[in-house]
Amino acid sequence: MSAFEGFPIEISPAFEGQRVRRKDMYVELGGPKIDYKFELVRVKPMDEVEDGKVEIIGPDLMDLKEGGSYPFAILIYVAGEKLDTDLEGVIERRIHMYTNYIEGIMHLNQRYDIWIRIAKKSVKKGLNSFSWWGRALITLFKSEMPYIEKMQVTFITDPELIKEKYEEALKIYEERDARVRGLKDEEVDMFYGCVLCQSFAPTHVCVITPERISLCGALTWLDARAAASIDPKGPNFPIPKGELLDPIKGEWSGANEVVAKRSLGEVTRVYLYSMFEYPHTSCGCFEAIAFYIPEVDGIGIVHRGFKGTAVNGLPFSTMAAQTGGGQQTEGFLGIGIEWMRSRKFFYADGGWNRIVWMPKDLKERVKDAIPPELYDKIATEEDATTIEDLKNFLLEKDHPVASKIREMEKAAEAEAKAEKVEEVAVQQPVQMSTMPQWTPQIPAQAIQMPAVSAQTGFKITLKGVKIKINRLIIKKAGGK
Ligand code: SF4
């Protein structure tokens, strides 16, 4: 008999990766429109957990108006002889995986950022209460993590209670992250990996080090180590460091080998401390996106909770689509916010000296990590909403990238002058009768360009580029 006998919907790993689109959803829980949402697992003494209990505080699923978005919290208590608080983060991260096993429930993200949609078709089939979800979680957790001996689940939809408990949850996340601070990448022999997100991003492999938290921000090196040791067949595994190939960019032979194997050969090199050349892959659960801003040669950072448009004119959602999916995308990188507190934060790219823009509330949240002399030099949405504003702000504040901006401006001016001269020259064939002495030089120049590229053997592929041509001059070969 199936463990899910009598359930109105199916429960199977086959549903992992399912999407529930807005038009197909019955309700949305958490998500970008909602400020207060979270999921939290706590390890408790045996006598404080009522095994199998599912509690709903606030309106149940069918009492929520169809089509709405609601504050939401999932609170899970677990107990077991082998459990300790080190495993809370690991168990909590599995809420994502097991919820996605339930037909018609899509779960995204983690901790204070959860985003869940329940499909109308599953509600029609009989998914009429959160209690089905709770019972499914208890069954899945206890069968896949047998060291969980007792488990109870509480769903909260009462907005006031969520708000109150949200602050407590943030404190608990912060305490978990603080445990690993101070431990250095050089001091350990082993990194740890995670492939939990491969159901959504098939080539994504998280490499978690003491100084580089996972992208989702939910697993520290200690969490991943605890998970790999208690559940060696699970999604977390050790990564022997191997040879240190580049201490600045953060490249290890062992990490390259394991990532190549786990991404089925798709990704063969990873720089853990850089967003250029071979950046870490990005799944879709990242807490924030770092994006390169070529006009100022700096890096902007936007977090999932920011509802506006970043200084490059793109909202988080648009950049997320460009960043995620398990690809290495130079210039876009999904990151865990705790990484901003790390010594190795963009170590190869200039660290905090390269950060030029971030939303005000994110800047406030990581204030303790920003070197004090840079704090006022990093723009927020209140200082700059366009690249031009940003440039002016950075120059005015004499940000470390200001000298590079000046250099680039000088080079651009020189280039503009050169283009002007060239434009005058290119226009001459039209005026050939008035200035015949210029004509021989022009065909020579025009013909040389493709010839030079053919000789060098370079192939240039432009992707996602818009080309604007002010004037196109077509001339017969041979100068006729
Ligand atoms: S972001 Fe990384 S650590 Fe977090 S669940 Fe996904 S693969 Fe695992």
pLDDT tens digit sequence for 98-124: 999 999 999 999 999 999 999 999 999
Distance 294 CA to ligand 1 centre (A): 29
Residue type, 384: A
Distance 112 CA to ligand 1 centre (A): 15
Residue type, 426: V
Q: Residue 285 has which token pair?
A: 């659960």
Let me know how many helices (H) and strands (E) the chain has, helices first.
Answer: 12, 17
Pocket flag, ligand 1, residue 227 (CB < 6 Å): no
Pocket flag, ligand 1, residue 29 (CB < 6 Å): no
Q: How confident is the model at residue 3 (pLDDT cuts 50, 70, 90)?
A: confident
Q: For the chain, first and last CA: distance in Å? A: 86
- pLDDT tens column, 178-196: 999 989 999 999 999 999 9
Using only the alpha carbons of the chain, give its radius of gyration. 27
**pLDDT above 80: residue 466:** no
As a whole number of angstroms, the distance between CA 267 and CA 204 comes to 9
As a whole number of angstroms, the distance between CA 430 and CA 469 comes to 18
Minimal CA–CA distance to 228: which of 264, 258, 185?
258
Q: Of the given ranges (13-17, 60-64, 425-429), which has the lowest mean pLDDT?
A: 425-429
pLDDT value of position 450: 38
Distance 172 CA to ligand 1 centre (A): 19
Query: 86 vs 73, which has greater pLDDT?
Result: 73
Sign of the CA dihedral running 306, 312, 313, 319 = negative
Q: How confident is the model at residue 221 (pLDDT cuts 50, 70, 90)?
A: very high
Minimal CA–CA distance to 96: which of 77, 115, 79, 80?
115
**pLDDT above 90: residue 299:** yes
> Ligand 1 atom closest to Cα of 198?
7
- pLDDT tens column, 330-384: 999 999 999 999 999 999 999 999 999 999 999 999 999 999 999 999 999 999 9
Distance 175 CA to ligand 1 centre (A): 19
pLDDT value of position 452: 35
What DSSP line would sit under 122-170, residue for residue?
HHHHT--SHHHHHHHHHHHHHHH-TT--EEEEEEE--HHHHHHHHHHHH
**pLDDT above 90: residue 255:** yes
> What Å distances lie between residue 335 and 116, 218, 332, 427, 465, CA to CA?
21, 11, 10, 50, 26
Distance 208 CA to ligand 1 centre (A): 9
Distance 93 CA to ligand 1 centre (A): 8
Q: Residue 46 has which token pair?
A: 């045996």
pLDDT, average across residues 268-279: 97
pLDDT value of position 390: 98
As a whole number of angstroms, the distance between CA 25 and CA 240 comes to 43
**pLDDT above 60: residue 437:** no
> Ligand 1 atom closest to Cα of 214?
3
Distance 113 CA to ligand 1 centre (A): 14
pLDDT value of position 183: 95
The H or E element spanning position 41 is strand 37-43
Q: Of the given ranges (37-51, 171-185, 411-425, 464-478), which has the lowest mean pLDDT?
A: 464-478
Residue type, 270: V
pLDDT value of position 324: 87
pLDDT, average across residues 411-434: 68
> Ligand 1 atom closest to Cα of 96?
5
For tokens 């996972």, what's the residue? 214
Look over the chain and give the mean of its residue pLDDT values, rounded to a whole number: 90
Pocket flag, ligand 1, residue 290 (CB < 6 Å): no
Pocket flag, ligand 1, residue 198 (CB < 6 Å): no
Q: Of the given ranges (56-65, 252-261, 427-436), which has the lowest mean pLDDT?
A: 427-436
Pocket flag, ligand 1, residue 358 (CB < 6 Å): no
Pocket flag, ligand 1, residue 197 (CB < 6 Å): yes
Q: Residue 106 has which token pair?
A: 């899509």
Pocket flag, ligand 1, residue 153 (CB < 6 Å): no
How many CA atoms within 13 Å lie on the side-chain side of 389? 14
Query: 17 vs 170, which has greater pLDDT?
Result: 170
